Amino acid sequence: MTEAKKYPAPVTNPETAAFWDAAKQGKFMIKRCTACGEAHYFPRSICPFCYSDKTVWEEASGEGTIYTWSLMRKSPTGPYAIGYVTLKEGPSVQTNFVDCDLEKLKIGQKVKVVFKPTDGAPLPFFTPA
Amino acid sequence: MTIKGKAYIAGIYEHPTRHAPDKSTAQLHAEVAKGAIEDAGISKDDIDAYFCAGDAPGGAWPMVDYLGLNTKKLRHVDSTETGGCSYIIHLGHAAEAIAAGKCSIALITLAGKPRTGAMPPRAQGAEADFETAYGATTHNAYGMCAMRHMHDYGTTSEQLAWIKVAASHHAQYNPHAMLKDVVTVEDVLNSPMISDPLHRMDCCVVSDGGGALIVTTPEIAKSLKKPQVRLIGHGEAMKGPRGGKDLDLTYSAGIWSGPRAFEEAGITPKDIKYASIYDSFTITVLMQLEDLGFCKKGEGGKFVADGNLISGVGKLPFNTDGGGLCSNHPVNRGGMTKILEAVRQLRGEAHPKVQVPNCDLAIAHGTGGLLGVRHAASTAILERV
């Protein structure tokens, strides 16, 4: 069911275009502020912590752990698992878990990024590492 | 400046309908406005302020026109949109405007028909490309909170179920409640899993309907016939993942709005006789009770268990109308009905089987948006004069 699911293409905008361009190369990008050193997600041009405009793109490891999850069992497109992954680099990101037994997800479990195609740029998802 | 004691809730009305396929949304707004005006015993033409949120068709100016409000007199409008808690925020803003002399009689309305037909999707923010595809709904966003709360604090499905059990004990006396049957912890646990770990009975109802308030000055309130209920403390707050740093889904923005309201009121949670707590899901109630200081963070499960929220049984009677879990959840927004039942309790107009004796201090608290993603919260502390 998850395999057949059709995901919407990102609309993209000038602030985030580089993220989606990198996604086409299979790279998962985050933004880091060179003023305060903090990484954040989703990407902004102004650091949400110190308000510096000295933010730069950084390729993330794509590795992290499950912060929380919930398996949505009542959905017209079939069951899906939403959750947050805390990246190795620090920020937590909202995602879906794919290509695995959704009944067996666990908080703290190690996961890695995997991209799924859309009609536009591919979207990042996570699967057990 | 404080709003403490500067504004009174002089009129309330809750639409009895739970399913209104034969009415327009604007019509429901007009019916609840009329009800609150009549309850207060004022004239429509005396209203000089109007408050509405995203459920009002077209927003404030089309509604002011449709409702036939007196535009020679109307001098203050506010269409703050913070989802389900909009109306608790409106109450605070009305008090601020009254205290500043910007208006003297404010009307706040909520109405809509999500049971008749799907609501339009909410406008998206800058996060859209990074979240929409993942399908955050109310169910799974609150499921994520419950999952983490259980992980961090050992909260159980049985404890969450007690919240629904308490609501059902109250709903049996509400003739308008959608779900009037008293349920057990086992009933909740045996209901189908919707989004782990939330069962169907952990979820609120979907209902049509609405409600309205008249908020006014102390002088005008004292000239009217209804028992006097005044706002003595108010708080509002917002919370979101904020760049994904230090994500913690086990608390809500109520952790900030609550203390602000209690400080203004000059009371503590121990003084509260009745609590209206937004109950979109059982976990919503549990987290907010902790955030508001009724118990310590992580001890909500123990606090709600064994009927502690049942009027006449436990220490903190909550949602004595049956709340969103059993009575209604008009427009998928629970803030208005939270204020309405708190005022009924303070007036002594709740059903005798659930009326809290000598109820002089009540709280009405709600959230809007998704606790598991980003949301607003608002807290109102009300006093019988």
Hey, are the CB atoms on B249 and A84 less than 8 Å from each other? yes
* Cβ-based neighbour number of residue B352 at 10 Å: 7
CB pairs under 8 A between A and B: 119
CB distance A5 to A82 below 8 Å: no
Q: Is B15 left (phi over 0), alpha (psi -120 to 50) or beta?
A: beta
Which of B138, B139, B195, B199 to probe the A interface (max A CBs under 10 A)? B195
| Closest chain B residue to A92, measured at CA | B244
**∠ CA B290-B293-B299, rounded to 5°:** 40
Q: Is B246 left (phi over 0), alpha (psi -120 to 50) or beta?
A: left
Chain A hits for B148, CB-CB cut-off 8 Å, are: 67-68, 107
In this prediction the ipTM stands at: 0.96
Question: What pTM, to 2 d.p., does this model score?
Answer: 0.97
CA atoms within 13 A on the CB side of B185: 10
Q: What is the pLDDT of residue A4?
A: 59
pLDDT tens readout for residues B208-255: 999 999 999 999 999 999 999 999 999 999 999 999 999 999 999 999
A2 has a pLDDT exceeding 50: no
Instruction: Name the stretches of chain B with pLDDT < 70.
Output: none
- Backbone φ and ψ for A48, nearest 5 degrees, come out as -70, -10
Q: How far is B292 from chain A (nearest CA, A)?
A: 23
Q: How far is A29 from chain B (nearest CA, A)?
A: 12
CA distance linking residue A59 with residue A57, whole number of Å: 7
pLDDT tens readout for residues B268-282: 999 999 999 999 999
Please choose, from the candidates A89, A85, A81, A82, the residue with its C-alpha nearest in 3D space to the C-alpha of residue A61. A89
Hey, are the CB atoms on A11 and B128 less than 8 Å from each other? yes
Q: What is the pLDDT of residue B124?
A: 84
A76 has a pLDDT exceeding 90: no
- For residue B362, give the H/E element and its range: strand B361-369
Tell me whether residue A110 is exposed, middle or buried, using C-beta atoms within 10 angstroms of its C-beta: 0 to 12, 13 to 18, 19 or more.
middle
CB distance B3 to B235 below 8 Å: no
Q: What is the pLDDT of residue A1?
A: 44
Q: How far is A111 from chain B (nearest CA, A)?
A: 16
A39 has a pLDDT exceeding 50: yes
Q: Is A110 left (phi over 0), alpha (psi -120 to 50) or beta?
A: beta
